Amino acid sequence: MAKVKIKFVCNECGTESPKWMGKCPGCGAWNSMTEEAEAVTKAPVGRSETLRTKEKPASIIHIESGREPRISTGLEELNRVLGGGLVPGSLMLVGGDPGIGKSTLLLQASNSLASQGLKVLYVSGEESVRQTKLRADRLGTLSEKLFVLCETNLDFIEEAVASLEPDFLVIDSIQTVYRPDVASAPGSVAQVRECTAQFMRVSKINGVATVLVGHVTKEGAIAGPRLLEHMVDCVLYFEGERHHSYRLLRAVKNRFGSTNEIGIFDMTEDGLREVANPSELFLSERPLGVAGSCVAASMEGTRPVLVELQALVAPTSFPSPRRMCSGLDHHRISLVIAVLEKRMGLFLQNQDAYVNVAGGVRLEEPAADLAAAVSLASSFRDLPTKPYDVVFGEVGLTGEVRAVSRAEMRVKEALKLGFKRVILPEMSLKGWSPPAGIQLIPVKTVAEALKAALE
């Protein structure tokens, strides 16, 4: 009979220890060691045939190269994030807050693939078959090739995959699946790791594109060991605000495409609707001719997006002024405020500053620095900005405005939406010809940008 051995495994890096420790010796994380039960069996004598590989080492020069075949999901926003579509034999992980729409997105994608004649198996471990059917009726995702299974036992799921031979497999969610031979509860570190490894083998051997749905922690990271994200080929995060109807699909890891792309959806009663032009969505409620409002041009992968930056500067009642921002890096805003104080002479030491990206979008690139500076200066001086101006550029510590990439695409997006002027770095004009119908104002310093935007 197998002897049961107790060990402690770190949830972050997978380091094993025979006893519990408050701090992981591998990654230094605190209170991340969890208890696992491991069955120790006697190793077989001799070499095991199951451990032998059929492939032999080959020279990288003689290996044939080619692009991976792609399968369109029917959702252009999802195809954009994946890099062009599904890759057969790939293993993907989708995470997001509860109720954000992960199951809705995958059910719509499954129906679209089934409508193309592909076999799709949707395995639900959290909902019954009838509950899944009710959601499918509401979304209108009914297809003869879409098969639904309510099961959490990994062995039974493998039998269903072997008998059905699907082209697309969805596991909702990986935290509910368990292996009977692993002495741990479903959702534990050992179960999630072993089940993911088994699904990876099934996906690679059978050429099945597999999607695993993962729960997230209160910090927003996918629950389970960090090793989980290293095992899969693609990690997607489905994000959104509770008070807004749109959802963002973002890739943080993608072996078959870029990680800079985002997909934007609008949650409706009939399911998720793709947003082809997100700039119109984010600027639909923008007030015109008010102080503290400025339109910034940002790049999300290969797509230019125009968003509204709002700033409010008001006298503080505290010994230390407050600096709050939503949708932007807090450190970048502190840098911009310091440049306005030192280089522009704006006395902001006794002023509270609040900066917000309207609509709940989050901007990662530094090209929004100049728009933030214009918004803060406009609110401080109580001078309205021009209603049809677009501003972008990176702000340096000496007050200079640095060039940003893909300025031509940002200008074309502003022209398409009816804007008349673009304030941009002077160095960004090199290498391309400005389109007709829009005025470009190149600037070298923040002072020149504020003069053009506020005077």
Residue 2, pLDDT score: 53
> 252, 276, 300 — which closes off a domain?
276
User: Can you tell me the distance from the alpha carbon of 5 to that of 192, in angstroms, rounded to the nearest whole number?
Assistant: 19
What residues pair up with 194 in beta bridges, in sequence order? none
Q: State whether 31 and 90 are in the same domain.
A: no
One domain, residues 216 and 109: yes
Q: Which residue has the tokens 């991340």?
A: 32
Domain assignment present for 80: yes
Q: Which residues are annotated as a binding site for ATP?
A: 96-103
In terms of residue numbers, what domain contains 365? Answer: 281-454
- Please report the pLDDT score of residue 8 as a whole number: 86
Q: Would residue 166 count as lying in a domain?
A: yes
Give domain status of residue 356, yes or no: yes
What are the pLDDT tens digits along the chain (455 aa)? 456 678 888 877 778 888 899 998 888 888 888 887 765 545 444 444 444 546 688 888 888 776 778 999 999 999 999 988 999 999 999 998 888 899 999 999 999 999 999 999 999 998 999 999 999 998 888 889 999 999 999 999 999 999 999 999 999 989 999 998 887 778 878 888 889 999 999 999 999 999 999 988 766 677 666 778 889 999 999 988 766 788 889 898 999 888 878 888 988 888 899 988 888 888 888 888 899 999 999 998 788 999 999 999 999 988 899 999 999 999 999 999 999 999 999 999 999 999 999 877 888 899 999 999 999 999 999 999 999 999 999 999 999 999 999 999 999 999 999 999 999 999 999 889 889 999 999 999 999 999 999 98
| Domain-ending residue, one of 276, 304, 326 | 276
**Is the residue at 60 inside a domain?**
no
> Looking at the structure, do residues 270 and 209 belong to the same domain, yes or no?
yes
Q: Are residues 104 and 176 in the same domain?
A: yes
Residue 141 covered by a domain: yes
102 and 181 share one domain:
yes
Q: Quick one: 268 and 290 in the same domain?
A: no
In the structure encoding, which two tokens stand for residue 216, read together? 């997230």
Looking at the structure of the chain, the number of domains it has is 3
Instruction: Report whether 97 contacts 267 (CB < 8 A).
Output: no
286 and 244 within one domain:
no
Residue 424: what pLDDT? 96
33 with 82, same domain: the answer is no
Q: Are residues 350 and 286 in the same domain?
A: yes
In a domain, 226, yes or no: yes
Structural domain contains residue 54? no
Structural domain includes residue 59? no
One domain, residues 145 and 254: yes
CATH classification of the domain holding 83: 3.40.50.300
- Tell which of 276, 298, 320 closes a domain: 276
Q: Are residues 401 and 442 in the same domain?
A: yes
CATH number at residue 369: 3.30.230.10
Binding site feature residues:
96-103
362 in the same domain as 421: yes
pLDDT computed for residue 51 by the predictor: 42
Rounded to 10°, the helix 446-454/369-381 angle is 50
Q: What is residue 185's predicted lDDT score, i.e. its pLDDT?
A: 78
